[in-house]
Structure 1
Amino acid sequence: MPAEAVQAGHEARPDRESVDLSGYPDLVVVYLGFRVGTWRGLLALVGIGRGIAGIQREMPEGLLVHEHLVFGLNHIGMRQYWRDFESLEAFTRSEPHRTWWRDFGRDRSGTAFWHEAYRLSGGMEAIYVGLPNPIGLARFAGARKPVGPFMSSRQRLAG
């Protein structure tokens, strides 16, 4: 665009870009949320924050990107891009994630948690624990208890 047009108040069109995901055929995107409902939950969030900082410092095998998100004053989250589901699953079964999830199941400390996972190769799944209102996929899709063959993320992705 000519300089005169920019000076006259017309901005140049922004560059448009997309991404080439051909090098990541097994990519998995995970959104995670943590909602604080009590003062005790705020303390739990501080503890989890330390663990998340460690994940960012040490970047587990297969984690490509970790980004923080804010959904509201008492609702934070993150988005993670994983090379493949196997890497994500290996992380969730290792420390510190395994201990955190076990402890959370025993005592939520006034918090709620959710995640949604999307595979480039197909499939989506979600889990919601202790939320006062449906969010994400749960706002339009019917509820289903995560029991039996529907207990793990891998099994939910399979359908």
Structure 2
Amino acid sequence: MRIGQAQATQEPRPDRESVDLSGFPDLVVVYLGFRVGTWRGLKALFGIGRGLVGIQRDMPDGLLAHENLVFGLNHIGMRQYWRDFESLEAFTRSEPHRTWWRDFGRDRSGTAFWHEAYRLSGGMEAIYVGLPRPIGLARFAGARKPLGPFLSSRQRLAG
């Protein structure tokens, strides 16, 4: 080898893996986001953060995994994997989620919220509340008000 000539080193090939989802035919993946728009919203975020720590510590029935995400300086989120939609729905109707959603509906405290749900068996749905501009599915799909038969996540997944 000449001086100054780099020696070519060959890195070992990384192991490639995939996943076997056959044991989870009713899997639901949910992305959630929480965007802070005011100082008051920052306080609301810290309050929700305590609840999220509890969810991760005491995993509700059906929650297979929970991962925290950061979308930006004022936009955090999470990805959750649920065994089935029934488990996810039962959680959303129990505490602390039920109270958080009710309170959020009354006073957003300078925040915005969204979620998108994807079922392995088919179907996707989303809700966006108070965002300054479209994100996710809303960037290309037409808007529709979540009213009447389109009010609940279950009904939106059914189409």
TM norm structure 2 = 0.95
- The structural deviation recorded for 1:59 is 0.1
| Structure 1 equivalent of residue 32 of structure 2 | 32
Determine the C-alpha separation between the residues in 2 that align with 1:33 and 1:130: 12
Identity %, equivalent residues:
90
Mapped partners of 2:27, 2:16: distance in 1: 23
What amino acid is the match of 1:25? P
* Total equivalences in the alignment: 153
Superposed displacement of residue 8, structure 1 = 3.5
- Is 1:83 the equivalent of 2:113? no
5+ residue gaps, structure 1: 1-6
Q: What is the CA deviation profile of residues 80-138 of structure 1, one whole-angstrom value per residue up to 9, with x for unaligned ones?
A: 00000000000000000000000000000000000000000000000000000000000
Cα shift at 1:13:
1.3
- Residue 96 of structure 1: aligned partner: 96
The list of structure 1 runs, each at least 4 consecutive aligned residues, that deviate by more than 3 angstroms after superposition, is none
> Partner residue of 1:153?
153
Residues 52-102 of structure 1 show CA distances to partners (whole Å, capped at 9, x for unaligned) of 000001000000000000000000000000000000000000000000000
Shift of 1:22: 0.1
How far does residue 48 in structure 1 lie from its aligned partner after superposition? 0.1
The aligned runs of 1:5-154 (5 Å cut-off) are 8-154=8-154
User: What are the ranges of 5 or more consecutive residues in structure 2 without an aligned counterpart?
Assistant: 1-6
